[in-house]
Structure 1
Amino acid sequence: MATKNIIADLNKGEKLTGTNYNIWHKKMTFLLNIWQELFEDLTTIMTRSLEGNTAQSRRDLEDFETWSKKDCCAHFTLLSCMHDDLISAYEHCAIAKDMWDQLRFDFGGTSVTRLRSLVLKFEMYKKDPENSMTEHLRIMSAMIRDLKNAEVVLSDEQQLQAVIRSLPNSWVNMRKILTHNENIKNFADVSRHVELEAQREEVICATTLFAQGGKHNGN
């Protein structure tokens, strides 16, 4: 039950997209280690031995069947924790180890192209209307962490400007305030101000709806 909850949490959260490989790899390693020792399956390959009637043959068959079941679980877990766009590219892998190794080869490197992709994604990122401001900032924080893991350290000014650019178009005035506020110096500072503004807007919206409801009831 606990493992199912962990998978559910991973599915609700950020799945593998290709640019977040480092943190995804850490989460999956932890998950597969605590769940039926599935991580061992990613480092071993077993083949079905020839059938026989000896005790050793029966033990070999039992070992293979146990490994095969774990491999299926690991295979399913990896696929279920990656973005839909990537599933079709890796579901063909015969065993979980092949998939694990291929993902590391494709996304675990720090090539110039990958680094540029990570930086560009961060600098051009815009808030998704479906996400709360807290979720939005959490995503940006994860992107900063991914860049740091790839040995790309962004300055406080770069992080600050990226957050300001990512805000909704309706936040024009707030963008100006954040840009010219000399007390806002880093990601933590701008995050605090942005979350407070989002909370203020929520209160105003709720108050307006309540007032409108009172008028309707009065009529």
Structure 2
Amino acid sequence: MASSSAPISAPVFNGDQYHVWAVKMKTYLRGHGLWQYVEEEKQVPHLGPNPTLNQMRVHEEKAAKAPRALSCIHSAVTDQVFSRIMACETPKQAWDTLKEEFGGSNQTRNMQVLNLRREFEVLKMQETEFVKEYVDKLMAVVNKIKLLGEELTNQRVVEKVLVSLPERFEAKILSLEDSKDLSRISLVELVHSLQAQKQRRQMRQEDSTKTAMYVGQKGRLQGREDKKYSGEKKGKEKSYNQGGKRGGQRSFPPCVHCKKKNHPEYKCWFRPGIQCRSCKQCGHIEKVCKSKGNQQEQQATVVEVQQPNPEAEQLFMASCTNHNMCDDV
């Protein structure tokens, strides 16, 4: 099965970005073998006497290439641009006309190159800017300079990137100087090395963030466990202190005699059928008897009165003796 390829269409020029269109169009004409008729305005030699059929066919093919190149240029511009070159009879005349009008004169081109070189020199990478973004912006300026006919070597572009990087890339630059020859390193290799360093830094930051989150979460869980354990321990101690046992104090329905809930009704100290041993009255026990204290004080007073006092007796006898002596006198 024979392979067939679709014909490549010529790039269309609308009056903007002439230098980009010129590069594309030059490649297109070279691919069709027509660029030499545009660049040099090559003339086809005349046929000699008594030419053969093969010579006549080759002459006709060569003679048709110049008009074909002019036709390619006509089809590669818009109608507005075509009006500038419609009077040109050769492809070289048409090409030079477009170059002079849209590409600018030599003086204008030199001024553009000077401005672009100044922009290239002052361009620096910002602290918050990515390496890929900065290199793309730098290469846009380099490509504009190259389109104007000026050359910038790969070594010059690499040096520009190295001197315009922020301070955070200093360690990576030092490692590259020790491991590689910076005069031979390509721009693509330099960008990949810087991006690899950035990826490693991001991975370390993510790992440290995950570790910090794990430690914080573990600390919060441990704090909750400690708080829960402390609360349970305090509750157990409180129950033990109140009830005298680890199980805590039992709760009963309100007593009909004293209205308390810490004892059953048959153990109440104020039930009607019980008699106090102290006051012999019913309705309470001796432990809560109110007249028990008064009786004890009365008994103590009686005992004190009944007990003899030797000192008082001696005083009494002495007073009596003295009285008798006075009577005798």
Which structure exhibits the higher relative contact order, with contacts defined as CA atoms closer than 8 Å and separated by 6 or more residues?
Answer: 1
More helix by share: 1
TM (norm. structure 1) is 0.47
Larger radius of gyration: 2
TM (norm. structure 2) is 0.33
